[in-house]
Amino acid sequence: MTQCLNLTRRTMLAGAVFASALVPVLTGTVARAEGGDIKTNAAAVAADIAKLERVKVDLVAPPFVHAHTQKAEGAPKVVEFTLTIEEKKIIVDDAGTEVHAMTFNGSVPGPMMVVHQNDYVELTLINPDTNSLQHNIDFHSATGALGGAALTLVNPGEKAVLRFKATKAGVFVYHCAPPGMVPWHVTSGMNGAIMVLPREGLKDHKGNDLPYDKVYYVGEQDFYVPKDADGNYKKYESAGDAYSDVLEVMNTLTPSHIVFNGAVGALTGDNAMTAQVGDRVLILHSQANRDTRPHLIGGHGDYVWATGKFANPPELDQETWFIPGGAAGAAYYTFQQPGIYAYVNHNLIEAFEKGAAAHFKVTGDWNDDLMTAVVKPES
């Protein structure tokens, strides 16, 4: 009980600072709606939006991405999504290490959402009464009100509906950003990404179409699990019980685990992503907190938007690309040889010692012209 009270007091103090920063944001929004130099006819805007076609999307868990058209069909739409917040205990490695995760729709990362530029995103955010914490959502793709965080703060048992216009094309992070607790929630798994496709679809540096056959979403996650005096990872009854110890580890800026899609091995072995020789694959990669350096061992980034923004021409033939923390990137590759491809964070310590690695399992015929064993290893 004492720990819960301490957490609440700490949160309230930090939240007061955060809330004071929101005053001009919220006040300005109200003032513009009611009048002043910048006038917004809210009723007229709502009437115009009400005329648009509505599309309800059923989200899927990463690395998969829900069905979508690569080119926009017709006028902009209102695309409806629902995210249900789930606080849950997860296992992040083969040793049974536990994290009291905070998630969107139960997965780390949260689901990838896809819309087209100038569509409206209408998100219903649900915080069930079975949860214990306050949550919200900040879309890096949105404009105003702290990315929506100022308008979506929901207590257990509440829900909010946010609508924003997707004006920028690209791949963008979203994450929880509650008062006083932003890094704790983000590093507990509460982040994901949204892809806003150009209405005419992806283009290369010359303006030619870049259709893809498959798309996968890799969310890189840093966890900060405390250890006991003997060097063993500690376990806790609840997120609140773990908070002070986790915060201490977080402040070292040294993750205990750096993983793809929530756990060591989540995208290897039987969970490997699949393709065939000749498949054009779009790889979407986000990191809400730390810098990362994706690399496809045995392949390349034929076309890469390292910071994920499709208004910029893609870079060509990349070996490794850099995604800054708080961003999402996109890489497009046509697989040319069968076999297992390792997809890693090319800080190799983080890949091989911390867990930031995945596999692509590719089927098809081998091309000796691209590679062959002239002399095989022999004694």
Q: How far apart are CA 151 and CA 32, in angstroms?
A: 16
Determine the 3-state secondary structure of 328 from DSSP: strand
Annotated active-site residue in 138, 222, 302, 350: 138
Q: What is the dihedral of CA 153, 159, 161, 167, to 10 degrees?
A: 50
Q: How far apart are CA 344 and CA 7, in angstroms?
A: 36
Annotated active-site residue in 175, 257, 285, 359: 175
Tell me whether residue 295 is one of the annotated catalytic residues: yes
Tell me whether residue 116 is one of the annotated catalytic residues: no
Tell me whether residue 135 is one of the annotated catalytic residues: yes
E runs forming strands in 15-116: 54-56, 78-91, 98-104, 112-116
**Edge-to-edge strand list for the sheet holding 315-318:** 257-260, 214-223, 280-287, 327-334, 301-305, 315-318
Tell me whether residue 359 is one of the annotated catalytic residues: no
Residue 107, phi then psi, degrees to nearest 5: -120, 155
Tell me whether residue 140 is one of the annotated catalytic residues: yes
Annotated active-site residue in 100, 116, 135, 257: 135
CA distances (Å), origin 163, targets 81, 119, 145, 149: 10, 10, 12, 12
Annotated active-site residue in 100, 116, 185, 359: 185
Annotated active-site residue in 53, 94, 209, 319: 319
Annotated active-site residue in 66, 68, 300, 346: 346
Annotated active-site residue in 29, 82, 124, 320: 320
- 35: alpha, beta or left? (left if phi > 0; alpha if psi -120 to 50): left
Q: What is the dihedral of CA 328, 330, 331, 332, to 10 degrees?
A: 160
Determine the 3-state secondary structure of 226 from DSSP: coil
Q: How far apart are CA 109 and CA 106, in angstroms?
A: 9
Q: How far apart are CA 248 and CA 224, in angstroms?
A: 9
CB 137 within 8 A of CB 125: yes
Other CB atoms within 10 Å distance of the CB of residue 347: 17
Annotated active-site residue in 100, 295, 302, 350: 295
Tell me whether residue 369 is one of the annotated catalytic residues: no
CB 354 within 8 A of CB 305: no
Annotated active-site residue in 112, 113, 176, 273: 176
Tell me whether residue 66 is one of the annotated catalytic residues: no
CB 82 within 8 A of CB 126: yes
Active site positions, annotated: 135, 138, 140, 175-176, 185, 190, 295, 319-320, 346
